[in-house]
Amino acid sequence: MGLLKGILHFFIPRERTLVYTTFDQTQYFRIKGRLSAAGIPHRSRINGGMKALGQRAQYGGKASVQHDLYVRKEDEHRAAQVIH
């Protein structure tokens, strides 16, 4: 039953709330580690990715990649305490 439930949640994700956004990869991994250590399930979205890295190489500037961390609505308060 657990496998079926996992597959179902993969295709139909529960509602998530944005709890943290950063443009610094080190800070992203630090906060992601805190959420994992606290046992708070979370999802990530990285905006920019390879496209931003290609632009960085093309123009010689700094790429801005946005890292977003999402948690379930019921975990939002706990996640805020862990992050801050």
What is the DSSP pairing of strand 66-72 with strand 42-47? antiparallel
- Structural domains of the chain, with CATH: 13-83 (3.30.70.1370)
pLDDT tens digits, one per residue of 10-33 = 666 667 899 999 999 999 999 999
Place of tokens 């994992």: 36
Q: For residue 73, which of 16, 12, 35 has the smallest C-alpha distance? A: 16
Q: Give the side-chain half-sphere CA count within 13 A for 42.
A: 28
Rg value, the chain, Cα: 15
pLDDT at 73 over 70: yes
pLDDT at 50 over 70: no
Q: Are 83 and 31 in contact (CB under 8 A)?
A: yes
